[in-house]
Every structure is written in structure tokens, then in C-alpha cells.
Amino acid sequence: MIETKNLSFIYREEDMESGEIKEEKVLKDINIEIEKGSFTAVLGHNGSGKSTLAKHFNAILLPSGGKVYVKGMDTADENNIFNIRQSAGMVFQNPDNQMVAALVEDEVAFAPENLGVELSGGQKQRVAIASVLAMNPEILILDEPTAMLDPKGRSEVIKTIKMLNEEKDITVVLITHYMDEAAQADRT
């Protein structure tokens, strides 16, 4: 479903005062194959490039070197972007950053909010996952979806992800820094 060949990525930033361009190589010669229906965890400390890698899997970022293929489609070919993003849905760390039009959240939360009850972080994250699943993706990329949750919310979200992988045969790529979450995957 996803393949990288010698993937490299460099963040480039211009210093506003000097005009000098600073480069930081974040990924270097990454080669990965992720099979259909698998559950793969990408584990690493903060700043190790996990999120940068995940953003290559649905063409949010494009390689500085090497190639990324999603279902055989080259992410660097702009003609493939729509089909790649339809195939590979992404859920980010903070669900509030993902809500474009909060209609589902508004509808679900209307009555409880009138009673002074808010959606929990775990509930919001499941709404974010549901909004991505509405696209019916074959691949679900989750970038630290439990980082802002308490242990109960983390457990609920991981249980949902495992169910989607096992029962719906959705290919899952989970970016995490929690060892117990990575242990749930087929491959780390």
C-alpha cells in the first residue's frame, strides 16, 4: 500500500535577518514497505521525524530525495494527489486542528453542552477519526492521535483503531511515542 525508496527530506528555512537559508535533514534514505491490511507503528522520540514521515504518506510533504508510492502512485506527481489523499486519510494529534466545519461535533454535543457537559478528548479524537473514515480510505495514518488524551481515552482510541484494522481491513500506520501502543501493531 505504501512504499518509500531512499526517501530523504530537508526542511529549509530562511533566516529573516541574514537572509541565510538553514537546512535540516530530517529523513535520510528511508526504505519502507507497508502491506495492505497491516497495522504498522512508527515509534520514536520527539523530533525524530515520525510526523514528517507520516506527512509523506498522503503527500502533505513531498520528498527532497527518493520516492514515495501510495498504491503504486508516485506522490511527487501532482496528477496523483487527489487519488492518494482519497486512499490515505490522516488523523492528527489534536482533533481541534482537524475540524473544518464542526457540524458533527455541534450536532453530537448540542444536548450535552446545554447541560454543561463537554466532549472529552477521546470523544473528540473519535469524531476526527470518523470524519476521515467518511472518505472510506484504504489507509489510515494516525499522527500521535492519543498524545493529548488521558489513559482511558488513549485505550478507547487504540481499541477503535485495532477494530478498524481487524474488522474493516484498513491499513493502519500509527505514529506514536508510547511503547504500549506500538506493541499493539503487527510491525514496529
Which among 137, 131, 30, 34 has a CA at the least distance from the CA of 82? 137
SS3 109: helix
C-alpha–C-alpha distance, residues 116 and 123, integer Å: 16
Cα distance between the two ends of the chain: 16
Written as tens digits, the pLDDT of the chain (188 aa) is: 999 999 999 999 888 888 899 999 999 999 999 999 999 999 988 889 999 999 999 999 999 999 999 999 999 999 999 899 889 988 877 666 555 555 555 645 555 555 555 767 777 777 777 878 888 889 999 999 888 888 888 888 899 899 999 999 999 999 998 899 999 999 99
Residue 174: half-sphere exposure toward Cβ, Cα within 13 Å: 32
Q: Burial, 102: exposed, middle or buried (Cβ in 10 Å; 0-12, 13-18, 19+)?
A: middle
